[in-house]
Amino acid sequence: MILDKIETLLKEVDNLSAKNMEDVEQLRRKYLSKKGEISALMGDFRNIAADQKRSVGIKINELKKTATEKINSLRAQMENTDETSDHIDLTRSAYPINVGTRHPLTVVKNEIIDIFGRMGFVLADGPEIDDDLHVFTKLNFAADHPARDMQDTFFIEQSDPNDVTKNVLLRSHTSGDQAHYMEEHQPPFRILCPGRVYRNEAISARAHCFFHQVEGLYVDKGVSFTDLKQVLLTFAREMFGPDTKIRLRPSYFPFTEPSAEMDISCNICGGKGCAFCKYTGWVEILGCGMVDPNVLEAGGIDSKIYTGYAFGMGVERIANLKYRVSDLRMFSENDINFLKEFESVY
């Protein structure tokens, strides 16, 4: 009977499935084409009795509608699958991830820390917002020292007009970290204090209102200037190459006595003289000296028993020499093209 055949086809249509667009096309041809199952039913429809035509016609239309909707649904499903599969290839290797690079100042700072770390120095840090007591007073700065002027240091608060040691400021060097450390520790110790510092300076190719320092302090019995010289020579050769030479020139710092500036042989011309070193063959890189006894006493350390040396360098200065960067501002402008030049540094 034609009604039984229609019911059978309805069940088939309800259970139709496809794996790809070719399967969908084959189902369309099987059920909806001119030579398909539904067209064949129309041929049988002509031979049935007149009183059954209405009910059979309704069932055939129901079958045709159901088959059309089912096949269209399968086609839409396959199209969505194809669109998704166009973007995901499970057989290919993973897409490369754009990995960022370390900032050149971070690279240089870490290299400095690593070199001194191998010589026994450990890290110590302190606050960027500090007080006059630790930044100046305990480091033997005179009351009228220019560093205490508003035009040289960023002051945040004047807590007591009658007591400058309580003034709050942005640290102008990381030597204040050493003052904090000496208050809480007794010798012997070797510490390294890296960090950002601030000074009230006009921004130019050679100066900035903030920059980075690494300062070192070694206090123990019998520490001499010879020890300091050997440590700095080792650092210079590790940082700039085994043929690097150093020289120490007398200088003055409030917190060290005697004090010196250290130069290295120009790493561009090898000490022969060039425009970079102003044809002297030498380039200044840091300041150093023996810790003044007043600084030790201010930190609660007996200067009759212990001696020590200290040194400090600007990270930007070392980076300039190492990578020949002519403009300090480039380190803080976040220029992607400039930073990409250091992708292979570390």
User: Which CATH number belongs to the domain containing residue 119 in this structure?
Assistant: 3.30.930.10
- Domain membership flag for residue 99: no
User: Are residues 46 and 117 located together in one domain of the fold?
Assistant: no
User: Are residues 20 and 124 located together in one domain of the fold?
Assistant: no
Contacts of 45-54 spanning 24+ positions with Cβ under 8 A: 45/2, 48/2
Residue 88: what pLDDT?
A: 65
Residue 82: what pLDDT?
A: 58
Instruction: Say if residues 167 and 133 touch (Cβ distance below 8 Å).
Output: no
Tokens representing 280 are: 């002297």
User: Are residues 26 and 150 located together in one domain of the fold?
Assistant: no
User: Are residues 158 and 9 located together in one domain of the fold?
Assistant: no
Which phi-psi region, left, alpha or beta, contains residue 308 (left: φ > 0; alpha: ψ -120 to 50)?
beta
Residue 295: what pLDDT?
A: 96
- Domain membership flag for residue 330: yes
- Domain membership flag for residue 96: no
The answer for residues whose C-beta is within 8 angstroms of residue 211's C-beta and 6 or more apart is 196, 197, 199, 314, 315, 316, 328
- Domain membership flag for residue 310: yes
- Domain membership flag for residue 277: yes
How many whole angstroms from its chain centre is CA 42? 74
pLDDT averages per 10-residue partition of the chain, 346 residues = 77 84 85 80 74 79 85 84 61 76 91 96 95 92 76 83 84 94 95 95 86 96 96 95 93 95 86 81 94 95 96 93 85 88 75
Q: What is the pTM of this model?
A: 0.69
User: Are residues 131 and 234 located together in one domain of the fold?
Assistant: yes
Residue 263: what pLDDT?
A: 94
Residue 80: what pLDDT?
A: 77
Instruction: Say if residues 246 and 232 touch (Cβ distance below 8 Å).
Output: yes
User: Are residues 145 and 202 located together in one domain of the fold?
Assistant: yes
Number of domains in the chain: 2
Residue 27 belongs to domain spanning = 2-87
The amino acid at 188: P
Tokens representing 259 are: 């004090």
Residue 151: what pLDDT?
A: 66
Residue 48: what pLDDT?
A: 75
Residue 113: what pLDDT?
A: 97
Q: Last residue of a domain, which of 23, 54, 87? A: 87
- The total of other beta-carbon atoms located within 10 Å of residue 78's CB is 18
User: Are residues 80 and 114 located together in one domain of the fold?
Assistant: no
- Domain membership flag for residue 36: yes
Identify the burial level of 258 via C-beta atoms within 10 angstroms of its C-beta, where 0-12 means exposed, 13-18 middle and 19 or more buried.
Answer: middle
CA distances in angstroms from 29 to 25, 62, 110, listed in the order given:
6, 18, 72
- Domain membership flag for residue 46: yes
- Domain membership flag for residue 155: yes
User: Are residues 70 and 112 located together in one domain of the fold?
Assistant: no
User: Are residues 73 and 133 located together in one domain of the fold?
Assistant: no
Q: Last residue of a domain, which of 23, 55, 87? A: 87
